[in-house]
């Protein structure tokens, strides 16, 4: 496929999980992908190698999100990589995937942890979009990754759910702002999706989680990456400000 040939993309938190699958998919569709990571350089380089091994183009960029100077650090690395590979700093696709879970119950959440989750999961995506506006091409794409937990009662992860609910408000407001430039902004909300957590090695736990989905299985990172790829493609041009349920029917009740 070459629907994104000549396009450039930044996928935050793309050394593993949904972010990695998204980076691989966008590269397979022809985009040059900046693989962002925070600490696991080896995992990011492995993602880059996998993309290049499949005939795609990618480079790694490091920045810790949720700390002072995070956006400047990320874009310094991003722009350097874009110039090296394309001779320009134009960005066509931004996928705000990076985030941290945790927070615990309402009784257990501390002010410090509350602030940390909002700094990484909400503040960073907001200011990444703000900064990317100068680089985004006409007809660009922004996709923010939320969570099905924003739509169901989960007292055990209330702070995390709050951050994802806040992230969902970025799409309609920025969609309205950027529509004159043909830039779409949307939200994708995964459900239980297989990752490197040890819980997915427990067959009983996986079976329990699978029952949340209408399809009686847990999601795979590629299930979500394919939805993101649609929104990033020319076929997604008429969808903006939207919330896309990619939970496998977990919100049907």
Q: In this predicted model, what pLDDT tens digit does every residue of 96-125 receive, in sequence order?
A: 999 998 877 889 899 999 999 999 999 999
Domain extent, residue 40, equals 8-246
In a domain, 43, yes or no: yes
In a domain, 163, yes or no: yes
Going by the DSSP 8-state scheme, the letter that residue 35 receives in this structure is E
Label residue 138 by pLDDT band (50, 70, 90).
very high
Q: Is the pLDDT of residue 1 over 70?
A: no
Mean pLDDT (the chain, rounded): 96
Q: How far apart are CA 114 and CA 117, in angstroms?
A: 5
- Calculate the alpha carbon distances from 188 to 32, 140, 164, 172, 201 in Å: 22, 17, 11, 13, 26
Sheet holding 91-96, edge to edge: 57-62, 32-37, 8-11, 91-96, 136-145, 184-190, 243-246
Residue 60 in any domain: the answer is yes
CATH number of the domain where residue 38 is located: 3.40.50.720
Task: Examine residue 131 and state whether it is found in any structural domain, yes or no.
Answer: yes
Could you tell me if residue 92 is inside a domain? Answer: yes
Residues 50-103: pLDDT tens digits? 999 999 999 999 999 999 999 999 999 999 999 999 999 999 999 999 999 887
**Residue predicted with more confidence, 155 or 93:** 93
253 domain-assigned = no
Residue 188 lies in a domain: yes
For 198-247, write each residue's pLDDT tens digit: 899 899 999 999 999 999 999 999 999 999 999 999 999 999 999 999 99
Active site residues: 160
Q: What is the domain count for the chain? A: 1
64 inside domain: yes
Tokens of 14: 């793309």
Among 67, 86, 71, 26, residue whose Cα is nearest residue 50: 26
């Amino acid at each position: 496929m070459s629907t994104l040939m000549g396009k450039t993309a930044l996928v935050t938190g793309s050394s593993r999980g949904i972010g990695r699958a998204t980076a691989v998919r966008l590269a397979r569709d022809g985009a040059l992908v900046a693989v962002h990571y925070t600490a696991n350089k080896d995992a990011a380089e492995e993602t880059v190698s996998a993309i290049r091994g499949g005939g795609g183009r990618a480079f790694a960029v490091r920045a810790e999100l949720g700390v002072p100077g995070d956006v400047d650090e990320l874009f310094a690395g991003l722009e350097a990589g874009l110039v090296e590979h394309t001779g320009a700093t134009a960005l066509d696709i931004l996928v705000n995937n990076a985030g941290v879970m945790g927070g615990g119950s309402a009784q257990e959440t501390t002010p410090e942890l509350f602030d940390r989750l909002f700094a990484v999961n909400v503040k960073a995506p907001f200011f990444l979009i703000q900064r990317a506006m100068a680089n985004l091409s006409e007809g660009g794409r922004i996709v923010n990754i939320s969570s099905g937990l924003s739509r169901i009662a989960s007292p055990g992860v209330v702070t995390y759910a709050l951050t994802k609910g806040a992230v969902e408000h970025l799409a309609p407001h920025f969609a309205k702002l950027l529509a004159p430039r043909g830039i779409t902004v949307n939200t994708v909300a995964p459900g239980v999706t297989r990752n490197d957590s040890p819980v997915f090695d427990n067959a009983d736990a996986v079976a329990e989680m699978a029952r949340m989905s209408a399809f009686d299985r847990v999601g795979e990172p590629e299930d979500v990456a394919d939805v993101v790829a649609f929104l990033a493609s020319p076929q997604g041009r008429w969808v903006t400000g939207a919330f896309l349920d990619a939970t496998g029917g977990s919100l049907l009740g």
